[in-house]
Chains A and B, each alone.
Chain A
Amino acid sequence: MNRILLKISVSILIMLLLFTTLTGCYNSKELDDLAYIIGIAIDKGTEKKFMITLQIAVPVKIASEGSEPGKDSSTLITIEADSLSSAISYASTRTSKEMKLSHNKIIVFSEEIAKTELTNCVNAFISSQEIRPRTSIVVCPDEARKFLENAFPVLETNPARYYDLLLASAEYTGYTTKTELIDFYLNNKSKYINPIAIHGNITTYQDPTGPSDPNPPSAASDSSSGNDSQGSSSESGGNSNGGGGSSNDSSSSGGSSSGSSSGAQDSNQEQNKEDLTPELYGIAVFANNVMVGTLTNYEVLAHSIMTNSLQGVNFDLGETTVSISQRKRPQIKVNVDGNIPHIDITVLLDARLLYSGDNLNYLQGNNKKDLQQKLEEEFKNIITTYLDKTAKEFKSDIVGFGKILKANYLTIEELDKINWLNIYKNSVFDLKVKFNVDTAQIFSSNEELNTK
Chain B
Amino acid sequence: MYAALYDKMDFTNLTPIFGHGYKNVFLNGSLSVGIFNSLIILFFISPNVKDIKKTAIYSIVISSITIFLILLLLFTIFPHEALSQNSFAIFELTRIIGFGRFFQRLESIFSLLWIIVACIFLGVALKFSIEIFMRIFNLKYINRLIPCICILNLNLSILIPDYMTSVIIRQILYNIVSPILFFVCPLIIVLLAKLKLSGGKNESNITQN
A411: interface (CB < 8 Å)? yes
- Please give, as numbers and ranges, the residues of chain B lying within 8 Å of A414 by CB-CB distance: 16
B50: interface (CB < 8 Å)? no
Q: For chain A residues 127-172, which have a beta carbon within 8 Å of chain B?
A: 132-134, 161, 164
Q: For chain B residues 70-107, which have a beta carbon within 8 Å of chain A?
A: 78-82, 85, 92, 95-96, 98, 101, 104-105
Chain A residue nearest in CB terms to B82: A189
- Please give, as numbers and ranges, the residues of chain A lying within 8 Å of B104 by CB-CB distance: 132, 134
Q: How far is the CA of A409 from the CA of B85 in the complex (A)?
A: 24
Q: Spot the interface stretch: A194-202, A246-254, A399-407.
A: A399-407
A415: interface (CB < 8 Å)? yes
Contact among B12, B20, B105 with A411 in the assembled complex (CB-CB below 8 Å) = B20
B26: interface (CB < 8 Å)? no
Contact flag A406-B16 (CB < 8 Å), given A133-B92, A134-B96, A413-B21: yes
- Please give, as numbers and ranges, the residues of chain B lying within 8 Å of A190 by CB-CB distance: 79, 81-82
A191: interface (CB < 8 Å)? yes
Q: How far is the CA of A133 from the CA of B22 in the complex (A)?
A: 34
Contact among A133, A403, A404, A410 with B17 in the assembled complex (CB-CB below 8 Å) = A410
Q: How far is the CA of A371 from the CA of B135 in the complex (A)?
A: 85
- Please give, as numbers and ranges, the residues of chain A lying within 8 Å of B22 by CB-CB distance: 411
A10: interface (CB < 8 Å)? no
B59: interface (CB < 8 Å)? no
The binding surface of chain A is classed by DSSP as: helix
A182: interface (CB < 8 Å)? yes
CB distance from A390 to the nearest CB of B (A): 18
Q: How far is the CA of A411 from the CA of B104 in the complex (A)?
A: 37
Decide: B19 and A412 in contact? CB cutoff 8 A: yes
Q: How far is the CA of A264 from the CA of B80 in the complex (A)?
A: 56
Contact among A133, A403, A404, A410 with B95 in the assembled complex (CB-CB below 8 Å) = A133
Contact flag A404-B19 (CB < 8 Å), given A133-B95, A182-B96: no
Decide: A413 and B20 in contact? CB cutoff 8 A: yes
Decide: A134 and B15 in contact? CB cutoff 8 A: no
Chain B residue nearest in CB terms to A190: B79
Contact among B16, B96, B98 with A415 in the assembled complex (CB-CB below 8 Å) = B16
Decide: B12 and A412 in contact? CB cutoff 8 A: no
Q: Which of B17, B82, B85, B104 has the most CB of A within 10 A?
A: B82
CB distance from A132 to the nearest CB of B (A): 7
Per the CB 8 Å criterion, the residue count for chain B at the interface is 24
Q: How far is the CA of A112 from the CA of B16 in the complex (A)?
A: 37
- Chain A contact-residue range equals 20 to 34
- Please give, as numbers and ranges, the residues of chain B lying within 8 Å of A410 by CB-CB distance: 16-18
Q: How far is the CA of A133 from the CA of B98 in the complex (A)?
A: 10
Contact among B18, B79, B95, B98 with A186 in the assembled complex (CB-CB below 8 Å) = B79
CB distance from B182 to the nearest CB of A (A): 31
Decide: B82 and A407 in contact? CB cutoff 8 A: no
Decide: A132 and B12 in contact? CB cutoff 8 A: no
CB distance from A305 to the nearest CB of B (A): 17
B10: interface (CB < 8 Å)? yes
Decide: A403 and B98 in contact? CB cutoff 8 A: no
Q: Which of A192, A400, A407, A411 has the most CB of B within 10 A?
A: A411
Q: How far is the CA of A400 from the CA of B10 in the complex (A)?
A: 11
A185: interface (CB < 8 Å)? yes
- Please give, as numbers and ranges, the residues of chain A lying within 8 Å of B92 by CB-CB distance: 133
Contact flag A186-B78 (CB < 8 Å), given A406-B12, A407-B15: yes
Q: How far is the CA of A185 from the CA of B20 in the complex (A)?
A: 22
Chain A residue nearest in CB terms to B78: A186
Q: For chain B residues 1-31, which have a beta carbon within 8 Å of chain A?
A: 10, 12-13, 15-22
Chain A residue nearest in CB terms to B95: A133
Q: How far is the CA of A164 from the CA of B104 in the complex (A)?
A: 13
Q: Can you sample 28 A-B contacts with CB below 8 Å?
A: A132-B95, A132-B105, A133-B92, A133-B95, A133-B96, A134-B96, A134-B104, A164-B101, A186-B78, A186-B82, A189-B79, A189-B85, A190-B79, A190-B81, A190-B82, A192-B79, A407-B12, A407-B16, A409-B15, A409-B16, A410-B16, A411-B16, A411-B19, A411-B20, A411-B22, A412-B20, A413-B20, A414-B16
